[in-house]
Structure 1
Amino acid sequence: MQYLENDQKHRHEIEDRILAVEEKEQSLRAQEAPQIVKFNLRGQIFATIIILSLVGSLFYSIYKDYYWIAGGSIIVTIIAILPQWFNKDRKKADPNETDRK
């Protein structure tokens, strides 16, 4: 009987340590959340500026009859947008999956 009581006590100690680690991780996530939002917003703004500049260079190249530059702008714009489409499909497939890049 003493063996079972010691085993149960040991399991409770392990679970208490696991809960303490989880609480610490949750508090760190709560502290980091505003920075994550800030950097995500910066990334979205930067990506929008790049895409708009590529589209602008496309129209300007067509206007100046530089079709090879326009073709390059189209290709680079498509390459820049494609990962977002694939990423969106992956998140729809498994909403509980965390992105750890």
Structure 2
Amino acid sequence: MGVLFSATPAEFRAGVVSRDELNALQANPPAWLTDLRRNGPHPKQVVAAKLGVSISGLARAGITEPLTTAEIEQLKAENPEWLEHERGVQAEARKEAARLKQR
């Protein structure tokens, strides 16, 4: 679902969601799900994707906690050296993966 499980409502965390219920949540998300997707806090895989870095890159930068959309946007605006470096690392990894795939 692309959201931090611990940020979901308690009743959602306490229950079991069937495949049909999950499909319904995806097709017609409730307000809490829409809000979490828009504002966070986001799990690390979403944070990494929004910043254009790897999860390992986040760890190297010391980012281990979930971030909100506002915090992610602030990092993008500040563009610290580590972010620029990790984006370059990610770009090189993608190039290498594409090169290997062509072989």
TM over 0.5: no
TM-score normalised by length of structure 2: 0.29
TM-score normalised by length of structure 1: 0.29
- Higher RCO, 1 vs 2 (CA within 8 Å, ≥6 residues apart): 2
Larger radius of gyration: 1
Determine which structure has the larger helix proportion and give its number.
1
